[in-house]
Chains A and B, each alone.
Chain A
Amino acid sequence: SQQGEEDPQALSIQEGENATMNCSYKTSINNLQWYRQNSGRGLVHLILIRSNEREKHSGRLRVTLDTSKKSSSLLITASRAADTASYFCATEATGNQFYFGTGTSLTVIP
């Protein structure tokens, strides 16, 4: 299995601070995606970074990808209480099959 692992498992920060979470995976990939999950809900796609890209931005989100280290990071800047959720990375290797990591639980304290 090439299931990824997120680090840290849990993160608690004050509103306004930045949150960084990391993802490591095991095999070659076509892309890596980050998803968000509020408690008891489905996942929502945040951002996709292709294997030939190194950095991508979307609003307050910044994602980096280092294929040589098989790792990615997600940075959420100027966090808000509404950012409280679990964040998962997912890798796609062969077409249309995704492997999800174990998730980082983020708590943003108002």
Chain B
Amino acid sequence: DGGITQSPKYLFRKEGQNVTLSCEQNLNHDAMYWYRQDPGQGLRLIYYSQIVNDFQKGDIAEGYSVSREKKESFPLTVTSAQKNPTAFYLCASSIAGTNYEQYFGPGTRLTVT
């Protein structure tokens, strides 16, 4: 089955720890994205990548880091510098270029206490 997967579904961490969220796709998409969603809110873009070994900051990149070493994978690290990391994190992918839809993973709910 083609699709985009995120793991784990739920993640709990203590304040001050870095944590890495996994995102994998087998859709052969060049573009990948990370969004953050807070309760009752829309999606805000953290980072996006249009090609391997290249990525750009979105609107709320502070306290986050990413890598894009493989086309299929776009992991997101939430660092201890992120002041309010508890949120629902969504990964998406799409064909690179204009006028293409995004395909979303099921999301990871991160709780930091």
Closest B-chain residue to A98, C-beta based? B102
**B94 CB, min distance to chain A CBs, angstroms:** 7
Using Cβ atoms and an 8 Å threshold, which residues of chain B touch A44? 104
Q: Does A59 lie at the interface of the complex (its beta carbon under 8 Å from any beta carbon of B)?
A: no
**A4 CB, min distance to chain B CBs, angstroms:** 8
> Once the chains bind, are A3 and B42 in contact (CB under 8 Å)?
yes
A96 touching B99 in the complex, CB below 8 Å, given contacts A43-B104, A103-B42:
no
> Once the chains bind, are B99 and A48 in contact (CB under 8 Å)?
yes
Q: Does A20 lie at the interface of the complex (its beta carbon under 8 Å from any beta carbon of B)?
A: no
Q: Does A40 lie at the interface of the complex (its beta carbon under 8 Å from any beta carbon of B)?
A: yes
Using Cβ atoms and an 8 Å threshold, which residues of chain A touch B92? 42-43
Q: Interface size (B, Cβ < 8 Å)? A: 29
* Distance in angstroms between the alpha carbons of A48 and B99 in the assembled complex: 8
List 28 A-B pairs, Cβ < 8 Å. A3-B42, A30-B99, A31-B98, A33-B102, A35-B102, A35-B104, A40-B88, A40-B107, A40-B109, A42-B90, A42-B104, A42-B106, A45-B101, A48-B99, A88-B42, A90-B102, A95-B98, A97-B48, A97-B58, A98-B33, A98-B102, A99-B45, A100-B43, A100-B44, A101-B42, A103-B40, A103-B41, A103-B42
User: Which residues of A are at the interface with B, using a C-beta cutoff of 8 A?
Assistant: 1, 3, 30-31, 33, 35, 40-45, 48, 50, 88, 90, 92, 95-103
